[in-house]
Amino acid sequence: MEFRQLRNFIQVIELSSITAAAERLNIAQPALSRQVKALEEELNVALLRRHGRGVVPTEEGIRLARRAKVILEDMQDIASDISGSQSTLSGTVTLGLPPTVSDILATHLITRTMELFPNVKLRIVSGFSGHVQDWLLRGKVDLGVAYEGHKPPSIRTQPIIIEQLFLIQSTKVAEHLDGVPITASDAFSQPLILPNPEHGLRSRIATIAAKIGCELDVKLEIDILPTMIAFVERGLGGTILPLVSVRDHINARRLIARPIIDQPMDRTLVLMTALNRPTSRLTTSFAEFVTKEVQQMVTSGQWPGTTL
């Protein structure tokens, strides 16, 4: 199996035609057919189904194309890592973000990457901090951003920012209290809408509540952020979130935010890299880029309620 065969096979899959792929690759159609046949014989599976209008991949063909793309992108990253310079960074980098962070950071990073590194393809996937950790360990992402908590020893973390947590309430029930500080015990005694106990935010809140001997009054458990906020807007309960998660709702005067003053109600956002896999120059450079962009957003006020 050769890289040339894999690259040409991907073209066949993308164009659904051996003839069209041969024309794009500028090689003879019989030669390309022989390459596909050689792959099928080596793997002892059918990779394509032929029909009158071209070809469609079998399940095995789809799997091969998916794996081949990863391999070829890794080879591109290796070439960039060994021979490139900062100004010519190229390749693919995959970044994992929590949903609350993705809402503010994803568009910004994609735009800035296109401006500064036109040869870099940025992929962003979103999931809870535990999912991002798992993806990083399994090589599904190159870098991860998550909230600090329990981590495996094979993950390196670098603190980026600290997010303050606020009691968030509907203007329907507490508009006159917008910005008015509240103690942690009073905030926890409010009817609350929170994520399930396995969620990192819920765990952080529960730890502080236990520390001060206060029992949470949880009315609803919802892991989907927009749904949680929608129920808070209706006045069915408050929640505890970083300011950035609800800034548009506050600006529209649908929600208010109250600082919690007597306990360290905050979370540390960290950048994660895997120690069980080699780090490319592209990944290292992009990690520095992400850190600088986040810090710039904090100092410029684009990421409210945070400190460096």
- pLDDT tens, 19-58? 888 888 889 999 999 999 999 999 999 999 888 778 888 9
Predicted confidence (pLDDT) at residue 81 exceeds the cutoff of 70: no
How many CB atoms lie under 10 A from the CB of residue 124? 18
Predicted confidence (pLDDT) at residue 87 exceeds the cutoff of 90: no
Mean pLDDT of 93-114: 88
Q: Mention every residue, 6+ apart, whose C-beta is less than 8 A from residue 217.
A: 188, 189, 190, 191, 192
* pTM exceeds 0.75 for this model: no
Cα–Cα–Cα angle for 210, 152, 244, rounded to 5 degrees: 60
Mean pLDDT of 244-272: 89
Predicted confidence (pLDDT) at residue 145 exceeds the cutoff of 80: yes
What's the pLDDT score for residue 124?
92
Q: Mention every residue, 6+ apart, whose C-beta is less than 8 A from residue 284.
A: none
What's the pLDDT score for residue 169?
94
180 — pLDDT class (breaks 50, 70, 90): very high
What's the pLDDT score for residue 77?
63
Predicted confidence (pLDDT) at residue 231 exceeds the cutoff of 90: yes
Predicted confidence (pLDDT) at residue 132 exceeds the cutoff of 90: no
Taking only the tens place, the pLDDT of each residue in 263-299 is: 878 888 899 988 876 677 788 888 999 999 988 888 8
263: left (phi over 0), alpha (psi -120 to 50) or beta: beta
Looking at domain 83-155+275-307, what is its CATH homologous superfamily? Periplasmic binding protein-like II (3.40.190.10)
Q: Write out the DSSP string of 5-30.
A: HHHHHHHHHHHT-HHHHHHHHTS-HH
> Of 12-16, 155-159, 227-231, which one has max mean pLDDT?
227-231
Q: DSSP state, 46?
A: -
What's the pLDDT score for residue 171?
93
What's the pLDDT score for residue 305?
67
CB 284 within 8 A of CB 223: no
Predicted confidence (pLDDT) at residue 86 exceeds the cutoff of 60: no
Mean pLDDT of 134-141: 85
Going by C-alpha positions, the residue among 132, 126, 124, 125 that lies closest to residue 152 is: 132
> Of 70-79, 99-108, 129-138, 248-257, which one has max mean pLDDT?
248-257
127 — pLDDT class (breaks 50, 70, 90): confident
How many CB atoms lie under 10 A from the CB of residue 85? 8
Q: How far is 180 from 258, CA to CA, in rounded Å? A: 5
CB 270 within 8 A of CB 287: no
Q: How far is 146 from 204, CA to CA, in rounded Å? A: 14
Range list of β-strands (E), 173-282: 192-194, 218-221, 239-242, 255-259, 266-274
What's the pLDDT score for residue 274?
84
- The reply to whether 161-267 shares the fold of 83-155+275-307 is yes
Pick the CATH number of 161-267 from 3.40.190.290, 3.40.190.10, 3.40.50.2300, 3.90.230.10: 3.40.190.290
What's the pLDDT score for residue 163?
87
CATH of domain 3-81: 1.10.10.10
Amino acid (1-letter code) at residue 113: T
DSSP element (H, E) containing 159: strand 155-170
What's the pLDDT score for residue 192?
95
The dihedrals phi and psi of 57, each to the nearest 5 degrees, come to: -75, 145
- How is the chain split into domains, by residue range? 3-81, 83-155+275-307, 161-267
Predicted confidence (pLDDT) at residue 221 exceeds the cutoff of 90: yes
Q: DSSP state, 237?
A: -
Residue 132: is it exposed, middle or buried by C-beta count within 10 angstroms (0-12/13-18/19+)?
buried
18's tokens: 């051996």
Q: How far is 289 from 308, CA to CA, in rounded Å? A: 16
Predicted confidence (pLDDT) at residue 161 exceeds the cutoff of 70: yes
Lowest mean pLDDT: which of 13-17, 60-64, 67-71? 67-71
214's tokens: 């206060």
Q: How far is 218 from 238, CA to CA, in rounded Å? A: 9
Tokens 């509907």 correspond to 170
Predicted confidence (pLDDT) at residue 82 exceeds the cutoff of 70: no
